[in-house]
Structure 1
Amino acid sequence: MKRPVYINDFSLRCILGSDEAQVLDSLTNGKRGTFTTYDVAGVMRPAATIDPATLAPVPEQKFDNRVNRLSQAAFSAIENTIRKAVEKFGADRVGIFLGSCDNGSEASMAALKYFKETGAFPEGYVLDYQRADFPAQFIAQRFGITGMLSVHSTACASSASAFVSARNNLYASNCDVAIVGGVDIASLSVILGFASLEAMSDKPTNPFSANRSGLSLGDAAVFFVVTKEPCADLCTAKCEGLKIVGFGESADADHITAPRADGEGAYQAMKAALNDAGLDASQIGYVNLHGTGTELNDAMESRAINRLFGEASHADVPVSSTKALTGHTLGAAGALELAFCCLAMNSRRESDACKNSSEKDYLLPAHLFDGVVDPNLPPVHLVKPGETAKDLKYCMSNSFAFGGCNVSLIVENGLA
């Protein structure tokens, strides 16, 4: 039985811009956001961090940290939709499902530094900042939501996992509407952690290139308002016809950080999403890759993509990693890249070649790299800046995390 989830509204904030038109322009033309460099043991590490000065303070002092300021900047665009949902269904029937990996380490590291210097923690500091549910509690408090609350910390798949949880709870009637998404920042503790794993590049990430040297981190907050039935009272014009129809999960159980080298786990997640949606791989018009720019990820994901779509004689499906543009936004990445798929589905426009016909083109998220394809990887069709597609009814978004936690989501454009 198919169990789709209908998208009523969504909003995002990342390094590519503060409004969707600007984000789409950067996304499809391969315009990288401004990366900030951090000195890590004498090596400069770039990260796509949003200038904290551009983020307004949170009115509730208890919740005023950088993570929640970023969330506030993102959900401000859908605040009316969230309030309508609370009014229509009741505060106790709205659920919150978020993905986040690092919500309070920045405040705790500052507090520890203060403690070492003074022998006491700063006034107002509480360990609650480190709680996994802290960013979700902020949203619940802001909108008076008393329904169920769930936060996933499954590394890079966190917010993709949140969508699976939201779908399951909507269909279990534990809530009537769900706020789903993710928020994460490239805090110093996270930068230091990835540097210790020797996974970070000393320049912006270069996925699927023979010259790649690791990943780059980034900031993002992304929120969706979803229901299990179409809801005319909530659905915005930009989301008409958009629904998530495929949810696929798998677990490698192969290594604590490295993905399974043959791509089997990634393949199984994508296959499960297709089966859940009742689709064949040949129907997918675009795939947003996990694409971290690490040697292990690029190798296994290209194998999985080549295998899945090659089986369907659809090996030329357009694919791209958008992490070269935004940095790897960790717990927010799954939701961010699903939002990018939605933006692409909304980008239908007349091209210069067919202004006098009824045909339209869709803009595709670009794959930004140095153009030096790794000859050791199975070939995939990497989207060039400005590339378009005639058909974009179905998009797939992949999130493959530490511990072999793999999630693949498929969104449908009902107006295509």
Structure 2
Amino acid sequence: MRKPLYINDFAMHCILGGDKKTVFEKLKNGTRGEFTIYDVAGVMRPAATIDPESLPPVALSKYDNRVNRLSQAVLDQMEGSIARAVKKFGADRIGIFIGSCDNGSEASLSALKCFRETGAYPEGYVLDYQAADFPARYIAERFGITGMLSVHSTACASSASAFVSARNNIYAGNCDAAIVGGVDIASRSVILGFASLEAMSDRPTNPFSANRTGLTLGDAAAFFLVTRERCEDLQAEGSAGLSVVGFGESADADHITAPRADGEGAYQAMKASLADAELDAGSIGYVNLHGTGTRLNDSMEAVAVNRLFGENTPASSTKALTGHTLGAAGALEASFCCLALENGGVLPAHLFDGCEDPKLPKVKLVKPGESADGLKYCISNSFAFGGCNVSLIVAKE
């Protein structure tokens, strides 16, 4: 039996913009956001970061950091629908399920620098900045929510995992509605970490190209207000008829960072999502690829996608436009599927150099302005370190 989550509202903020219309225009045209160049141990690396000074300080000052400024920018757009949900169900019946990986390393590193230079931490600095639940506690306090709170840090699948957790808890009766999503930043510590893995490109990522050289990181936040039943009194403009209907997970148990080379884990996650949604592969009109631009990811994902969907289902990686937004990526890319569904099937473009890798199984990559007639179902892939694979199916009635 299907167990969907109905979407009453959603919003996002990334390097493409802070509102649905702006983001959609850049997605459909394949227009990349402006990347910033960082010096990583003497090597220049681009990242799709948002200037924190362009975002207002968090009104609850004790939560003011880059991560929560991004969350605030998104939650401001959803304030009305969330307030209505709190009034309808009660503050103790709203759950918060988010994915995030780097909550406060920048604050901690700058505090440590201050301590080394002066012998004291900056005024107001607390270790809570580093806590995994810090961004979720901000959301709870902002809206006066006292229901269950869960933060997932499953690397690049974090906010996709949060959707699975939200669905399970809503249907278990632990909450009636949920704020689900993700937020993450490309901090200097994260950039250094990925550089040490030799996974970062020295240019904007070039997914599924024969010339790909690695990933590029980025900042983003994306949130959804979801319920078990469709609630017309909660729905915001543009959310009518949208739902998440398929939830599939798998675990490679193969390597601490690299995906399983034969794509079996990715294939099983997508297959499980289809089974959960009671759909066959032919029902899917668009695949949002995980598509990091690393040789290992793109090769295994091409195998899995071609095996399940063949070579004629439109697919694209949006990470060339936004950067890889880590813990936020699953929610952000699910929101891109929603934008395609609510805009007549116009699909996010696949931006790359046009040089397809002949060693990869064929995948139909979306060109700018391309659309899928009668688009009803999209699948969004998130494949993370440790072989944590999640695929979500987003639908429009």
Q: What's the TM-score bracket when you normalise by the shorter of the two chains?
A: over 0.9
What is the match of residue 340 of structure 1?
Answer: 336
1:156 aligns with 2:139: no
- The code of the aligned residue for 1:155 comes to A
Select 2:368's aligned residue among 377, 385, 389. 385
- The code of the aligned residue for 1:12 comes to M
What is the match of residue 413 of structure 1?
Answer: 396
> Displacement, 1:309?
1.3
Select 1:368's aligned residue among 318, 326, 351. 351
> Displacement, 1:239?
1.2
- What is the distance in 1 between the residues matched to 2:181 and 2:47? 21
- What is the distance in 2 between the residues matched to 1:29 and 1:61? 38
- The code of the aligned residue for 1:405 comes to C
1:255 aligns with 2:255: yes
- The code of the aligned residue for 1:409 comes to L
Which deviations, in whole Å up to 9, do the C-alpha atoms of 1:146-174 show, x marking residues without a partner? 00000000000000000000000000010
What is the match of residue 129 of structure 1?
Answer: 129
What is the match of residue 104 of structure 2?
Answer: 104
1:238 is paired with a residue whose SS is coil
- What is the distance in 2 between the residues matched to 1:140 and 1:18? 22
What is the match of residue 380 of structure 2?
Answer: 397
> Displacement, 1:125?
0.8
- What is the distance in 2 between the residues matched to 1:46 and 1:148? 38
2:9 is paired with a residue whose SS is strand
Select 1:326's aligned residue among 319, 322, 327. 322
- What is the distance in 1 between the residues matched to 2:245 and 2:213? 35
- The code of the aligned residue for 2:7 comes to I
- What is the distance in 2 between the residues matched to 1:41 and 1:65? 25
> Displacement, 1:116?
1.0
- The code of the aligned residue for 1:186 comes to A
Q: TM-score, normalised by structure 2?
A: 0.99
> Displacement, 1:191?
0.2
What is the match of residue 53 of structure 1?
Answer: 53
Q: How does 1:258-297 map to 2 (within 5 A)?
A: 258-297=258-297
1:316 aligns with 2:307: no
What is the match of residue 222 of structure 2?
Answer: 222
What is the match of residue 20 of structure 1?
Answer: 20
Which deviations, in whole Å up to 9, do the C-alpha atoms of 1:263-307 show, x marking residues without a partner? 000000000000000000001000000000000000000000011
> Displacement, 1:385?
0.9
- What is the distance in 2 between the residues matched to 1:54 and 1:119? 31
Which deviations, in whole Å up to 9, do the C-alpha atoms of 1:201-254 show, x marking residues without a partner? 000000000111000000001110000111111022311111111000000000
2:274 is paired with a residue whose SS is helix
Large movers: runs of 4+ above 2 Å: none
- What is the distance in 2 between the residues matched to 1:304 and 1:70? 33
What is the match of residue 74 of structure 2?
Answer: 74
Q: TM-score, normalised by structure 1?
A: 0.95
Which deviations, in whole Å up to 9, do the C-alpha atoms of 1:175-223 show, x marking residues without a partner? 0000000000000000000000000000000000011100000000111
- What is the distance in 2 between the residues matched to 1:23 and 1:378? 30
> Displacement, 1:18?
1.8
Which deviations, in whole Å up to 9, do the C-alpha atoms of 1:88-136 show, x marking residues without a partner? 1000000000000000101001001111111121111111111000000
What is the match of residue 302 of structure 2?
Answer: 302
What is the match of residue 356 of structure 1?
Answer: none
Aligned-pair identity in percent equals 75
- The code of the aligned residue for 1:328 comes to H
Q: How does 1:132-211 map to 2 (within 5 A)?
A: 132-211=132-211
- The code of the aligned residue for 2:343 comes to S
- What is the distance in 1 between the residues matched to 2:236 and 2:390? 27
Gaps of 5+ in 2: none
